[in-house]
A and B are shown apart, each in its own frame.
Chain A
Amino acid sequence: MLANLRQVFRYRALVSSLVARELKARYRGSVLGFFWTFVNPLLLLGIYTFVFTVLLGGAGAGTRPEPYALFLFCGILPWTWFQSSLLESCSVLIAGGNLIRKVLFPAEILPAVTVLTGLVNFCLGLLVFAGVAIFYGRPLISGDLIWLPAIILVQLALTLGLSLLLSSLTVHFRDIRDLLGNLLTLWFWGTPILYTMTAVPERFRAVFALNPFTHLAVAYQEVLFFDGPFTGWRSLLALGAFALVVLLFGYFVFDRLRDTLAEEV
């Protein structure tokens, strides 16, 4: 396993080239370029803002943070990264089957590239977020912003672990992708992205706390949206440890299935 990790490290130039290629290939020939990545979340943003502030304006007005669109953005941005990475991981090995079967090539590069491409998009999205924040006249720099890289790192580990797990399992069970699509919808609504954690009734909080993305979303909201010092560092630390376990487990499963990949894709 350690030797494998060394090999992945040796291929880091390839990984970065592949990420660049993914980005370039995706936006080549399109007018809006990388903004297409945000059309989807921005559309969601617009719809939710409209529905919750205009149509359902009265309902829950007291618990709703303002400006609501900016609050939504804090959660939807990392969620988009998470969701698209997991969904794409399900097909990345099958799509890259030619490489796995014909070229000596550490296959874990493919899901890693997917997750890292999502990360780059996420970081570009943060720039858009900054633009929206300026629009609402919010201060861009605050003290707890230094936690942001740590949060991103935790999400990266968690996403990568799940991505490795899903990508290798999907080779054997092709319907994981369909299953995952439904699961992610449930997951989205079960995560405080559209609402704050304080809006969750006390008796459900324990259940919500079991959802790892809850802690991520709350951390992003605290750092990017709410004023005051970052208070969630304990749960972030715990989540970091959990993400590491997921990463190791995902890699373990991937490694165990490695030899079957070339035969099954």
Chain B
Amino acid sequence: MHAVEIRDVRKVYQRYGRRKSFGTLKSALLSGSVLKNLQPDSAFQALDGVSLDVRQGSTLGIIGRNGSGKSSLLKLIAGIGKPSSGTIDVSGRVSALIELGAGFHPEISGRENVFINGMMLGLSKAEVARRFDEIVAFSELGDFIDEPVKTYSSGMYMRLGFAVAINVDPDVLLVDEVLAVGDEAFTHKCLEKFAEFRRRGKTIVLVTHMLDLITRLCDEALWLDAGRVREHGDPKRVVDAYLTEVAGTDDHAVSATAPLPAAGDAAAAANGRAGRWGSQEAIIEHVELVRADGQPVHVFESGQPMRIRVGVRAARPLHDFVFGIGIFTADGVCCFATNTQIEGRVPREWAGGGTFTVDIARLDLIAGAYKLDVAVHRQDGVPYDYHRLLYSFRMASPVKDTGIYRPQHRWLFEGGIGISGSGGDGQE
């Protein structure tokens, strides 16, 4: 089920360039070219054959340089303007957070503005009334709601605009860079609201330059470049590809996404989102998971040590490199991820082959299948070689507890509680 279906959409903006400079009716009449002046002088193609499906309940992030057509696409999805050709189908109510509080009138109270803004966004008066308390609660305006909007701070203004737009309760929420304007607390609040939206199975399309937000929040990412889709898929992969390009290292991008011949568990590569990419200036040659007794295995006992040994090779001498690993559950939840940069290691130099090892004294994960990311990248995140979910291992445990992480713990009973058995308390 798709919430948004976009088929070969083109958007051409007409530019009335010559008239812009002397744009008057008088000059048009004098030169007898009124009709001609209503014809465009030149055209700018903002979107050029974009096709895209957004699954219901998924979160799509759109990235790209300024002027790459991100906002144009978002506006077309919102229904502000029509595509020059192609079709856009959106199922359900759409709310667009393109500009918060657009249409607020400064002279009248927040209360009246909420009603008018809500109605502009497609709610009926009764619907706004029903959601009014929630809107005020989110905006944290309190008694200020009855003051004229012109007295509000920009934070209050934004919170109120956001509160109204989000309480339209859309099936598809479109967000354009609004998070970039708020303070820390506001951003946090918005993100919480987005998380709630996702839990309720709503669809979100997000345009942002905050790339970490894309990898954190989105199920999929879309990279638009000059009005075309450059990459679409796993957010981490798309963001890395984008970073690679922006950093100007595209010259070196040798078969960036070509999968390596089964280096780890071949089954992992079958997963649609797993993959390999990077500039290949340095490569990961092999990855080994080693048990306490030094044996490379794929099954580990919960609470036992694990050693991740990675063979790497630099194609040329490097001074800017970061090694990283990440452990994920089978459904993609990150259990733990770290790299040498996060942990304060400063790269000095690296030439030729080498190995790095991550020694985990106790792996307190519950039983189940896990996947591993291994990466070598620059300090700014541009990947040399990124192995995404290419390796897998299993955790085995006699105890059938659930979750992800098993902290070391004990059960203690006092008073009149009689209970027996000791094998299942997770302690050795």
Question: In the complex the two chains form, is B119's CB within 8 Å of A175's CB?
Answer: no
Question: In the complex the two chains form, is B103's CB within 8 Å of A173's CB?
Answer: no
A 62-110 contacts with B by CB, 8 A: 96, 98-99, 101-105
Cβ of B180 < 8 Å from any Cβ of A?
no
Over the window 1-40 of chain B, the binary record of Cβ atoms lying under 8 Å from chain A Cβ atoms (1 yes, 0 no) is: 0000000000001101001000111101000000001100
A11 CA to B120 CA, complexed, in Å: 8
A171 CA to B26 CA, complexed, in Å: 14
A173 CA to B34 CA, complexed, in Å: 10
B 137-168 contacts with A by CB, 8 A: 148
**B116's contact among A17, A96, A174, A260, by CB below 8 Å, is which?**
A17
Most chain-A Cβ atoms within 10 A of its Cβ — which of B28, B37, B81? B81
- Interface SS majority for chain A: helix
B 382-420 contacts with A by CB, 8 A: none
Comparing A20-28, A34-42, A130-138, A197-205, the segment that makes contact with chain B is: A20-28
A28 CA to B112 CA, complexed, in Å: 14
Q: Known: A172-B23, A179-B25. Is A21-B105 also a contact (CB below 8 A)?
A: yes
Least CB separation from A170: chain B residue? B25
**Chain B residues in 8 Å Cβ range of A13:** 119, 124-125
A141 CB to nearest B CB, Å = 36
Least CB separation from B20: chain A residue? A264
**Chain B residues in 8 Å Cβ range of A103:** 80, 96, 98-99, 102-103, 120-121
Residues of B within 8 A of A (CB-CB), count: 35
A138 CA to B112 CA, complexed, in Å: 42
**Chain B residues in 8 Å Cβ range of A263:** 13-14, 81
A28 CA to B105 CA, complexed, in Å: 12
Least CB separation from B26: chain A residue? A175
Q: Known: A25-B108, A104-B80. Is A179-B96 also a contact (CB below 8 A)?
A: no
Question: In the complex the two chains form, is A179's CB within 8 Å of B103's CB?
Answer: no
Q: Known: A104-B79, A259-B81. Is A99-B24 also a contact (CB below 8 A)?
A: no
**Chain A residues in 8 Å Cβ range of B116:** 14, 17-18, 21
**Chain A residues in 8 Å Cβ range of B105:** 21, 25
Question: In the complex the two chains form, is A174's CB within 8 Å of B24's CB?
Answer: yes
Cβ of B78 < 8 Å from any Cβ of A?
yes
B216 CB to nearest A CB, Å = 26
Question: In the complex the two chains form, is B25's CB within 8 Å of A102's CB?
Answer: no
Cβ of B115 < 8 Å from any Cβ of A?
yes
**Chain B residues in 8 Å Cβ range of A262:** 80-81
A103 CA to B108 CA, complexed, in Å: 20
B 61-101 contacts with A by CB, 8 A: 78-82, 94, 96, 98-99
**Chain A residues in 8 Å Cβ range of B98:** 102-103
**Chain A residues in 8 Å Cβ range of B107:** 24-25, 28-29
Cβ of A265 < 8 Å from any Cβ of B?
no
Least CB separation from B116: chain A residue? A17
Cβ of A8 < 8 Å from any Cβ of B?
no
A133 CA to B220 CA, complexed, in Å: 72
Cβ of A244 < 8 Å from any Cβ of B?
no
A17 CA to B38 CA, complexed, in Å: 34
Cβ of A176 < 8 Å from any Cβ of B?
yes
A175 CA to B34 CA, complexed, in Å: 13
**Chain B residues in 8 Å Cβ range of A264:** 16
Question: In the complex the two chains form, is A105's CB within 8 Å of B120's CB?
Answer: yes
**Chain A residues in 8 Å Cβ range of B112:** 17, 21, 24
B 194-225 contacts with A by CB, 8 A: none
Question: In the complex the two chains form, is A102's CB within 8 Å of B28's CB?
Answer: no
**Chain B residues in 8 Å Cβ range of A29:** 107
Q: Could you write out 12 A-B pairs with CB less than 8 Å apart?
A: A13-B125, A17-B112, A17-B119, A25-B105, A28-B148, A102-B99, A104-B121, A173-B23, A173-B25, A179-B26, A259-B81, A263-B14
- Contacts from A to B (Cβ < 8 Å): 11, 13-14, 17-18, 21, 24-25, 28-29, 96, 98-99, 101-105, 172-176, 179, 259-260, 262-264
New A-B pairs, 13, CB < 8 Å, besides A99-B120, A104-B121? A13-B125, A21-B112, A25-B105, A96-B103, A98-B99, A102-B99, A103-B99, A103-B121, A104-B122, A173-B28, A175-B24, A259-B81, A260-B14
The 8 A-B residue pairs whose C-beta atoms are closest, nearest first, are A173-B25, A25-B107, A14-B119, A175-B24, A102-B99, A102-B102, A104-B79, A99-B103
